Amino acid sequence: MPRAVGIDLGTTNSVIAAVSGGRPTVVPNATGSRTTPSVVAFTEAGALLVGDAACRQAVLNPQGTVHSAKRFAGRRYDEVGREAAEVVFDVVGDGGLARFDVKGRRYAPEEISALVLRSLVDEAARTLGERIDRAVVTVPAHFDDAQRTATREAGRLAGLEILRLINEPTAAALAYGLHLRQRQTILVVDLGGGTFDVSVLTAGDGTVEVRAAAGDSHLGGDDFDHRLVEHLVAEFHRDHGIDLAADPQTRRRVVEAARRAKEELSAVTEAEVNLPFVASDAAGPKHLRTLIDRPSFDELTGDLVERCRNPVEQAMRDARVAPADLDQVLMVGGATRIPAVRDLLRRLADGQEPQLLINADEVVALGAAVQAGLLIGTGGPARLRDVTPLALGLQAHDGTMATIIERNTAIPVRRTQVFSTAEDGQTSVDVVVRQGQRRRAADNRVLGRFRLSGIRPAPRGVPRIEVTIDTDADGMVTISARDADGGSRQSIVVTEIVEPRSPAGDAGPVAAATDPAGDLESLIELVERELTGPATGVPAHERTRARMLLDDAGGALREHAPVERLRTLAAELRQVAAVFVPAIPGA
């Protein structure tokens, strides 16, 4: 019988595990490593490389090597400006969606993820001596429907039956066997390569129940790497007048050196960055050799660490638990090894020591393997209850968001709400379903849209239109609407990202600006004005992100940065503006 496995499809590294002898075990790859880099390379000779082999040639083939695909999965092009600026390969828009342009061909992020999944499964099958065609795959708890759909599509492209998508913090709880103990309240903090997730769980007596989840989909270990890269590049430019970021191969070398230094600084107080022959000028070759100590690293990344605070506090607030109510604090994800992150978690838990008893890089895959065993009947009983990461609702006729399912509602869940027509004699309605927390519907992501026709003509407010949103255990959404009087019915299953149509035509009012510098200046003025106000309901990490973008944008204008850079920053500021000023669409 084919084996079912658990897979942690990570931003930086991926791990595959299987239950053997009643215990979950990580399955090493062909090189003997327990983690596989989530990296795919397309060589000039036409070869396809995945994992360690792709990493080894990345410096010589930077634009043909794709990494961090998870940060782009299920995202629109205008949502990934910062992420695109931090990678060497080309990120482009295709129908409004983020795509990778590699050697003349465009790849969806889920296609890259599928290649990683296929490599993991093929190598594990050879090691186990069994065919693998089913898997439980993990996703960040804060992933929205589009990102979950993209992950499921990656599994399908890899030839896998996805038994279930399970949130990473929930998987960690399973790996620790918390469902087998007495009931307790656990805070799980997951800082991976590309995302930050926090969940408050109640586990024990055969159950794992998520009480609340929060996160920041723009924060991960990659951001710490790139903050150090920016520092190294700026120092080298100050000393030698050479921009190391201008050359893709050199930039890749600096990125890899920064990542190694970051990892070393989690264990020691000082790390050396040593890159010989990194550049040259008329005077001869130049070398990058410098020491980074932990206090300097903490100063460079202090705002990133501080952005972890609000999601933790929000999750605890939503779950209605105080630090004294927590029985355990579990750390998941490689970036939780950063000492400053651990110190922050310790303070937020009133001195309780965060636990890292299982390898942070492996714990999520181990938990996914436990869940795979439960689903196919090879493990003991356990009941999982997760929650919706974001609210789901309809766009009302006045442009507001009519919420049907609130954030942090236990899933699976099915909710129905009755709506009506806005005009006399109206015989059809456009049903636009969105996901998000903003009051203005235009600032939330469109999940699906369809038209319900055949409504019996009547005065406005008389027809009864029942709209039902159904979210399954994977967080996947089905939407239906019916005319309660006339019987007309329409429904969709959300299987792809639906692009919102701007009420102003092909381009929104801000996006239509033709002067990139003027556009950016206007957005800077707008966001600065809103930052000085109360911005009620705006999370602290969004305000921090806004300040960071304002600094970047101001610097780009002063340095007369290229037009493409100005447009990228304008797109990111437009997204921030949508948080502060609901009247400005984020698309």
Contacts (Cβ under 8 Å, ≥6 apart) of 301: 224, 227, 228, 338, 340
Catalytic option among 123, 168, 519, 552:
168
Rounded Cα distance between 572 and 566, Å, is 10
Strands (E) in 97-206, as ranges, are 97-102, 105-107, 132-139, 161-167, 184-191, 196-204
Contacts (Cβ under 8 Å, ≥6 apart) of 133: 2, 159, 160, 161
Q: Would residue 542 show up in a list of annotated catalytic residues for this protein?
A: no
Quote the tokens at residue 215.
């996160």
Rounded Cα distance between 337 and 363, Å, is 14
Rounded Cα distance between 374 and 363, Å, is 17
Contacts (Cβ under 8 Å, ≥6 apart) of 282: none
Least Cα distance to 219 among 1, 500, 542, 552 occurs for 542
As a residue count, the chain comes to 587
Rounded Cα distance between 91 and 384, Å, is 37
Helix 540-558 vs helix 516-531: crossing angle, to nearest 10: 140
CA dist 260 → 257, 267, 404, 504 (Å): 5, 12, 46, 48
Quote the tokens at residue 373.
């065993």
Least Cα distance to 136 among 374, 330, 332 occurs for 374
For the beta carbon of residue 356, count every other beta carbon within 10 angstroms.
Answer: 15
Q: Which amino acid is at 30?
A: A
Rounded Cα distance between 169 and 150, Å, is 20
* DSSP H or E segment with residue 416: strand 413-419
For the beta carbon of residue 299, count every other beta carbon within 10 angstroms.
Answer: 12
For the beta carbon of residue 504, count every other beta carbon within 10 angstroms.
Answer: 12
The sign of the dihedral angle between the CA atoms of 48, 153, 3, 367 is positive
- Each as own residue / partner, the long-range contacts of residues 40-45 (CB below 8 Å, 24 or more positions apart, any chain) are 40/65, 40/66, 40/67, 40/69, 40/112, 40/115, 40/116, 41/65, 41/66, 42/66, 42/102, 42/103, 44/103
Q: Would residue 281 show up in a list of annotated catalytic residues for this protein?
A: no
State whether residue 342 is helix, strand or coil: helix
Catalytic option among 70, 83, 222, 552:
70
Q: Give the burial string for 13-45 (b: 16+ CB within 10 Å, else e).
A: bbbbbbbeeeebbbbbbeeeebbbbbbbbbbee
Q: Would residue 168 show up in a list of annotated catalytic residues for this protein?
A: yes
Catalytic option among 190, 223, 361, 362:
190
Q: Would residue 190 show up in a list of annotated catalytic residues for this protein?
A: yes
Rounded Cα distance between 560 and 576, Å, is 22
Q: Which residues are catalytic?
A: 8, 70, 168, 190
